[in-house]
Chain A
Amino acid sequence: MSATAETVRQVEEATGKYKYGFVTDIEVDKAPKGLNEDTIRMISAKKEEPEWMLEWRLKAYQVWLKMDDPDWAMLHYPPIDYQDIHYYAAPKMAEQPKSLDEVDPELLRTYEKLGIPLHEQEMLAGVAVDAVFDSVSVATTFREKLAESGVIFCPISEAIRTHPELVKAYIGSVVPQGDNYFAALNSAVFTDGSFVYIPKGVRCPMELSTYFRINEQNTGQFERTLIIAEEGSYVSYLEGCTAPQRDENQLHAAVVELVTMDDAEIKYSTVQNWYPGDENGKGGIYNFVTKRGACRGARSKISWTQVETGSAITWKYPSCILQGDGSVGEFYSVAVTNNAQQADTGTKMIHIGANTTSTIISKGISAGRSNNTYRGLVKMMPGAENARNFTQCDSLLVGDQCGAHTVPYITSRNPSAKVEHEATTSRISEDQLFYCLQRGMATEEAVSLIVNGFCKEVMKELPMEFAVEAQKLIGISLEGSVG
Chain B
Amino acid sequence: MPHDVISFERLTADASSRYAKNGWPSSKDEAWRFTNINAIRSAQFAPAEASLEPLSSPEDNVIHFINGVYQPIDNMSFNDGIHCENLSQNTALSSALAAAVPDQHKVADFALAYARDGLAITIDQPVAKPLQLIFDYSGDGVSSHPVLVFKIMPGASLTILEEHKGEGSGLSAPLMLFCLEEGARLNHARRLIEADSRYHLGLNLVKQQAKSVYHGDMVMAGGDISRSETQVSLSEADAQSYLNAVYLGRDKQIRDVTSRIDHDAPDCQSFQRIHGVLDNQAKAVFQGKVKVERYAQKTDGNQMSRTLILSRQAEANTKPELEIYADDVTCSHGATIGELDDDQLFYLMSRGISQDAARQMLIEAFLVDVVDELEEPQREWLVAPIEQWIKSRVTT
Q: Classify the interface of chain A: helix, strand, loop or mixed.
A: strand
Are A397 and B327 in contact, CB atoms less than 8 angstroms apart? yes
> Does B209 count as interface, using CB distance less than 8 angstroms?
no
A345 to chain B, nearest CB (A): 15
B356 partner residues in chain A, CB cutoff 8 A: none
- Spot the interface stretch: A102-110, A142-150, A312-320, A418-426: A418-426
Q: Which A residues touch B120, using CB under 8 A?
A: none
Cβ contacts under 8 Å, B337 to chain A: 380, 410, 412, 417-419
B237, CB-defined interface residue at 8 Å? no
Minimal beta-carbon separation of B158 from chain A (angstroms): 34
CB distance from A248 to the nearest CB of B (A): 29
When the two chains form the complex, which single residue of A401, A406, A413, A426 contacts B330, counting CB atoms closer than 8 Å? A426
Q: Is B371 an interface residue (CB 8 A)?
A: no
Q: How far is the CA of A103 from the CA of B317 in the complex (A)?
A: 54
Known contacts being A397-B324, A403-B323, A418-B337, is A412 close to B309, with CB within 8 Å?
yes
Q: Check: B13 CB closer than 8 A to any chain A CB.
A: no
Residues of B within 8 A of A406 (CB): 320-322, 333
B387 interface contact, C-beta 8 A: no
A6 beta carbon closer than 8 Å to chain B:
no
Chain B residues within 8 Å of A380, by CB: 337
Task: Report how far A398 CA is from B315 CA in the complex, Å.
Answer: 39
B148 to chain A, nearest CB (A): 33
B44 adjacent to chain A (CB < 8 Å): no
Pair A421/B335 contact, Cβ less than 8 Å: yes
Is the CB–CB distance between B338 and A417 below 8 Å? yes
Which chain A residue lies CB-closest to B325? A403
Tell whether, in the assembled complex, residue B332 and residue A421 are in contact, meaning their CB atoms are under 8 Å apart.
no
> Does the CB pair B319–A409 fall under 8 Å?
yes
* Chain B residues positioned under 8 Å from A405 (CB to CB): 321-324
Please give, as numbers and ranges, the residues of chain A lying within 8 Å of B312 by CB-CB distance.
382, 414-415
Contact B336 A418 (CB under 8 A): yes
Number of residues from A at the complex interface, CB < 8 A: 36
Expressed in whole angstroms, the minimum distance between the Cβ of B231 and any Cβ of chain A is: 18
The answer, yes or no, to whether A399 is at the interface (CB within 8 Å) is: yes
**Chain A positions within 8 Å of B319 at CB level:** 407-410
Q: Do residues B327 and A395 form an inter-chain contact, with CB atoms below 8 A?
A: no
- Chain A 372-414: CB-based contact to B (< 8 A → 1; otherwise 0): 0000000010100000000000010111111111111111111
Within the complex, what minimum Cβ distance (angstroms) separates A393 from chain B? 9
Residue of B nearest to A422 (CB): B334
CB-based nearest B residue for A423: B333
Interface status of A161 (Cβ within 8 A of chain B): no
Cβ of A52 < 8 Å from any Cβ of B? no
Residues on the B chain within 8 Å of A416, using CB: 339
Closest A residue to B320 by CB, please name it.
A408
Contact between chains at A425 and B339 (CB < 8 Å): no
Separation of A380 and B319 alpha carbons in the complex (Å):
14
B327 and A400 form a contact (CB under 8 A): yes
Interface assignment of B310: CB less than 8 Å from any CB of chain A = yes
- Do A404 and B324 form a contact, CB below 8 Å, given A410-B337, A422-B332? yes
- How distant is B22 from chain A, measured CB to nearest CB, in Å? 18
- Chain B residue numbers with a CB within 8 Å of A412 are 307, 309, 315-317, 337-338
- Chain A contacts with B in 419-442, Cβ cutoff 8 A: 419-427
Q: Quick check: B338 and A424 within 8 Å, CB to CB?
A: no
A77 part of interface (Cβ distance < 8 Å): no
A402-B317 Cα distance, complex, nearest whole Å: 30
B329 within 8 A of A: yes
- Those of B200-221 within 8 Å (CB) of chain A: none
Q: List 9 A-B contacts (CB under 8 A).
A: A406-B321, A410-B319, A419-B338, A421-B335, A423-B332, A423-B334, A424-B332, A425-B330, A426-B331
| Besides A408-B319, A414-B309, A415-B312, 9 new A-B residue pairs in contact (Cβ under 8 A), listed by A number | A400-B297, A405-B322, A405-B323, A411-B315, A415-B310, A423-B320, A423-B322, A425-B332, A426-B329
- B residues engaging A (CB < 8 A)? 30, 294, 297, 307, 309-339
Closest 3 CB pairs of A and B: A397-B327, A415-B309, A418-B338
